[in-house]
Structure formats: structure tokens, C-alpha cells
Amino acid sequence: MDNQNASTEIPAAAETLLALMHAQAEVARLSEREQLFSSLLVSVNAVLWAFDWQTQRMIYVSPAYERIFGRSAGLLLADFGEWRDSIYPDDLDYAERSLSEVLEKGSIEDREYRIIRADGQVRWLSDKCFVSHQAEHGQRLIVVGIAEDITEKKQLEDELQRLATTDVLTQSSNRRHFFECAQREFEQARLQGTPMAFLLLDVDDFKLVNDTYGHQEGDTVLQRIAECGRKTLRRGDLFGRIGGEEFAAVFPGCAPEMAKQIAERLQREIQRLSFQCNDKTFGITASQGLTNLGSHDQSLEALYARADAAMYQAKRQGKNQIVLV
């Protein structure tokens, strides 16, 4: 009888040992997976987060938060106000409103806003968020998301936009961008019945400048003309280089007398310019054509044509003058 009890106890002990070994292996496997998951979270350059909508508390934020936001994750988990405080003031209303929209839409994948890091840096984020499936089963309403730093992408977009709309030499609007903006101002002025002026400016004897002093000096002349435009025109006025030595301006909401004063001020600034090349000093002048929006004008092209005709009239009349039509 004793032998039988002993024989049954041995397999039982073996089974227990095997179970313990399996349990230890499972714990080790889970621990290994947890370590792998933790290392992945540390290496991901995006903030993974989870937000409890009812309690208005952040319940999880991944390690990248401190790298991207430059702020303490512990403070954020203790107080959701830390998130609001990090948003760029002009973007806070949008960031909060778009977060609320996830409740009715289920997901928001096009949120972009700026944050201010603790060190004062302003960074752009793309912050996608989704309602957790827990909410569908009557449990807590959890919003989860992933926030990526897209500052470099935004800077590249801005630079591409600048290159597409800016004259490289003078840093003023190029022809295409100028006329796109001018068309919008024309339509707005027609719709609201407000005044608008259109000006064309051409550098007098520019070919002679290039032939006498070289194209590099001619480039300097064009750059200085553009500087005069930026310094003289009002905030909201348009100014651009639309041809070789030809510039144009639009004065939205500007009455005829004021437009004339701006053109005259620009003329004086150009006349004051002085250039030096090979111990020789020279100046330049410009001919301008100025016109104002009339009730009969049906297109921007009509204003452009009148200003162009006026500018060539100024050339024929001796240059260095403004002709108003």
C-alpha cells in the first residue's frame, strides 16, 4: 500500500514541477515581450496617449512626450491643464474644438497645431485621435491618439511655398503670385464697393545700366527698387516684380488721392537711390502708370491695360514721372 502511494505522489510532484516550469517560462516570455514593447515605445518618435473623457485626465502618455514637448509626463498625468498650457495660444481654440469633434466623428486624422516647449521653442504637431472601442461596450469613454512632430515638414512646405510665390532676385511677389492676389483684391473691391488702385512701374533706361555697369549691378538696382516698394507701401498693399525691370502694385481700399501720394512717395524714394560701380556713382529713375478701379471695370485686365498704357505715356513724355488715368 505504501509503495502505491509513493508511486502516485511522484507523478503528481512531477506535474506540479512541470506546471511551475511552464509558469516561469510564461512569466519570462511575458517579461521579455514587455521589455520589447517598452523599448519600442522609447524608440518611437511620436507621442502615444490615452485620455479619459469623463474625468478629463490623461491616463497614459508614452516616453516620447518628454522629448517632443520638453515637459514632464508626470505633471501631465497629474493635471490635463498641462496640455492646454503647452498649446500655442492662437491654436488653442482649434486644438480643443477638434478634440471634441472626435466624439461625433469617431476619429480625427487631420489635426495640426503648434506647441510651445518648456524651452520656448515652437513646434508643429500632427495629432491624430480616435475613440477607443471600450466606449462601444458601455465602458469608459477613452480617446487615444498619436502625436508626431512635423516641424521640419512644415518648414519645407513654407519654403516651397515661398519659392513658388517669390521672385528669387528681389524677394517680392513673382508675376503669377502677384496677379493671383491682385485678382482676389479686385473681386473683393467689386463685391464690397470699395476703392482700389493699380500701379505699374518700369525702371528707365535699364538696358543702359546693364550695358554700362554690368548685369550684377543691374540686379542690385532691381533689389533696391523692391526695397523701396516694401518701405513705401502700406501694410496690406501688394507689390511684385512682373517682368524684367517692371514692377506692379495694388492698393486695396485706397482712394485715388491717397494712391497718388503713395506713388509720389515711391517715386521720390527711387530718385534718392545712389549706386557706385568702379569709382562711378549713378542714380536711376522710373516711369509709373496709375489707375483706379471704376464702376465700369469688369476685370482686373482692364485696370492692368490702363496702367500699362499710362506707364508708356510717361515714357513718351520724358520718363521719370507718374501718369494718372
Write the pLDDT tens digit of every residue in 254-265.
999 999 999 999
Conformation bin of residue 106: beta by default, left when phi > 0, alpha when psi is -120 to 50 = left
Residue 299 has pLDDT above 80, yes or no: yes
245 is catalytic: yes
The predicted model scores a pTM of 0.64
Q: Which of 11-20, 55-64, 197-206 has the highest mean pLDDT?
A: 197-206
Residue 79 has pLDDT above 50, yes or no: yes
Residue 295 domain flag: yes
For residues 191 and 274, state if they share a domain. Answer: yes
Task: Tell me which of 303 and 8 has the higher pLDDT.
Answer: 303
- Mean pLDDT, all residues of the chain: 87
Domain of residue 91, CATH code: 3.30.450.20
How many independent structural domains does the chain possess?
2
In the chain, the amino acid numbered 295 is S
Residue pLDDT, tens place only, 144-178: 999 999 999 999 988 888 888 899 999 999 999 99
45-61 mean pLDDT: 90
For residues 150 and 100, state if they share a domain. Answer: yes
289-317 mean pLDDT: 95
For residues 146 and 79, state if they share a domain. Answer: yes
Residue 253 has pLDDT above 50, yes or no: yes
pLDDT of residue 274: 94
Residue 215 domain flag: yes
Q: What share of the chain in percent tops pLDDT 70?
A: 85
Nearest-angstrom CA–CA distance, 225 and 203: 9
Contact 166, 173 (CB under 8 A): yes
Query: What domain range includes position 288?
Result: 166-324
Contact 315, 202 (CB under 8 A): yes
pLDDT of residue 84: 92
Nearest-angstrom CA–CA distance, 67 and 179: 44
pLDDT of residue 163: 85
For residues 111 and 185, state if they share a domain. Answer: no
For residues 209 and 148, state if they share a domain. Answer: no
Would you place residue 95 in the very low, low, confident or very high pLDDT band (cuts 50, 70, 90)? very high
Q: Which residue is associated with the grid cell 472626435?
A: 102
Which of 122, 61, 111, 62 shows the shortest CA–CA distance to 87? Answer: 122
Residue 5 domain flag: no
Q: Please name the residues in contact with 307: beta carbons below 8 A apart, sequence gap of 6 or more.
A: 198, 199, 200, 248, 289, 290, 291, 325
For residues 176 and 116, state if they share a domain. Answer: no
For residues 255 and 297, state if they share a domain. Answer: yes
For residues 120 and 259, state if they share a domain. Answer: no
Angle at 256 (CA atoms; ends 252, 260), nearest 5 degrees: 100
Residue 13 domain flag: no
pLDDT of residue 36: 45
For residues 113 and 232, state if they share a domain. Answer: no
Nearest-angstrom CA–CA distance, 271 and 285: 6
Would you place residue 4 in the very low, low, confident or very high pLDDT band (cuts 50, 70, 90)? low
Neighbours of 79 (CB within 10 A): 14
Helix (H, G, I), strand (E, B) or coil at 139: coil
Q: Which residue is associated with the grid cell 487615444?
A: 144
Residue 191 domain flag: yes
For residues 303 and 205, state if they share a domain. Answer: yes
Q: Which residue is associated with the grid cell 515638414?
A: 153
Among 245, 246, 264, 269, which one carries the catalytic annotation? 245
Nearest-angstrom CA–CA distance, 165 and 195: 26
For residues 149 and 226, state if they share a domain. Answer: no
Residue 18 domain flag: no
Q: Please name the residues in contact with 267: beta carbons below 8 A apart, sequence gap of 6 or more.
A: 286, 288, 320, 321, 322
308-318 mean pLDDT: 96
Residue 182 domain flag: yes
Given 156, 175, 194, the domain boundary residue is 156
